[in-house]
Structure 1
Amino acid sequence: MRIHVSSVFVDDQEKALRFYTDVLGFVKKHDVPMGEDRWLTVVSPEDPEGTELLLEPSGHPAVQPYKTALVEDGIPATSFAVDDVRAEFARLRELGVNFTQEPLEMGPVTTAVLDDTCGNLIQIVHSK
C-alpha cells in the first residue's frame, strides 16, 4: 500500500494552482471539471508519477472551522520535503512568500512554516 493522493483544502482553486505551481514549483497533473469545482492535482517535478496533492475546494461547512483552528494554533496542514530549508526559505521569501516560522533546527530536522495564501500553513522540512 502507498499514498496515492493527499489533499489540502483551498479557498480558491485557481489561486492555489498559481501558488503551488508558480511559487512552490509543483506541476499540474490533473485538471478535471466537476461542476463548479475541479479535480485539480499537482505533483513534484522530481516525481511526476508520485503522490498527487489534491487542491480540494473548501466548500464543505466543516472545512472552515477546521482550517481556522489549525492556523490559529500554528499547525501546518501538510509538510513538504526540501533539500535545504534555509535555501528554500530564502528563495520563497524573495518571491514574497509570508512565513509564520523562520527556519528552526530541531535535532536532526530543520523546518519552516509558510502561508499558502489559500487558508493553510505549510511546513517545509529537511533531515540531516
Structure 2
Amino acid sequence: MRTQKRCMGYVAIVVDDYDRAIEYYTDKLGFVLVEDTPQPGKRWVVVTPNLESDCHLLLARASDEQQQGFIGNQCGGRVFLFLQTDDFWRDYHAMQAKGVRFCEAPRQEEYGLVVVFEDMYGNRWDLYQNAQS
C-alpha cells in the first residue's frame, strides 16, 4: 500500500518589493533563492532555509492597499514564523553579524534554546533549536 506524504509546501509572506525581500532573506537570514519566475503582473518568488526543506517561503508582493497594511504585521504582532536550526549559536551569531534585529536575549526553555527576531518588515520570528538537537 502506498502512503501519501503531506506537508506544508509554502507559506506566503507579504512584501513591498521582490528584490529587496530576496536580498534580505538570502543575505541576512542565509536562505536560498529557489525560484523567481515572472508571471503577468507579479513574480513567483520562493526562498527556503535550505534546499532539503519541505516548507518554502513565498515572497508575495502586496497588490493593493489592504495587503500593504499587513506588511510586517501578518500575525497581529505575535511570533509568526519559526526557524528551526541544528546549531543555534552558529545561526544566531551569523544573523547578528548581518544586522538582524533581535527583540531579546537568547533564552533556554524546556523545549530548547530560542530567541525572537524581526525580519526587515517587522514580522516576528523565533529562531530555535530543540532540546533534543
Q: Which amino acid aligns with 2:40?
A: G
* Structure 1: gaps of 5 or more residues: none
**Pairwise CA RMSD:** 2.4
- Of the three residues 101, 106, 109, the one matched with 2:104 is 101
User: Percent of pairs identical after alignment?
Assistant: 24
**Aligned counterpart in structure 2 of residue 80 of structure 1, from 75, 83, 101:** 83
Taking a change above 3 Å as real, the CA distance of residues 114 and 71 of structure 1, as seen in their structure-2 partners, is farther
Q: Which structure has greater helix proportion?
A: 1
Are 2:91 and 1:115 equivalent residues in the alignment?
Answer: no
1:18 has 2:13 as partner: no
Structure (1 or 2) with the larger CA radius of gyration: 2
Amino acid in the other structure paired with 1:94: A
Distance (whole Å) between structure 2 residues aligned to residue 52 and residue 21 of structure 1 = 13
SS, match of residue 14 in structure 1: helix
Q: Which amino acid aligns with 1:27?
A: V
Return the alpha-carbon distance in structure 1 between the equivalents of residues 14 and 107 of structure 2. 26
Select the structure with the greater relative contact order (CA < 8 A; seq sep ≥ 6). Answer: 1
Q: What letter corresponds to residue 51 of structure 1 in structure 2? A: C
Structure 1 segment 64-79 matched on structure 2, within 5 A: 64-67=68-71, 73=77, 75-79=78-82
Q: CA 1:80–1:118 in 2, change beyond 3 Å: closer, same or farther? A: same
> Does 2:92 match 1:89?
yes
| Residues 89/67 of structure 1: CA separation in 2 closer, same or farther (3 Å cut) | same
The one-letter amino acid of 1:86's match is W
Q: Name the CA distance, whole Å, in 1 between partners of 2:126 and 2:18.
A: 20
Q: 1:76 to 1:52 in 2, by over 3 A?
A: same
Q: Structure 2: which 5+ runs fail to align?
A: 1-5
- Quick check: 59-68 or 85-94, which moved more? 59-68
Instruction: Give secondary structure in 2 for the equivalent of 1:21.
Output: helix
- What do residues 42-84 of structure 1 show as CA deviations (whole Å, max 9, x unaligned)? 1233516x222101123344444445656773x1221111123
* TM-score, normalised with respect to structure 1: 0.80
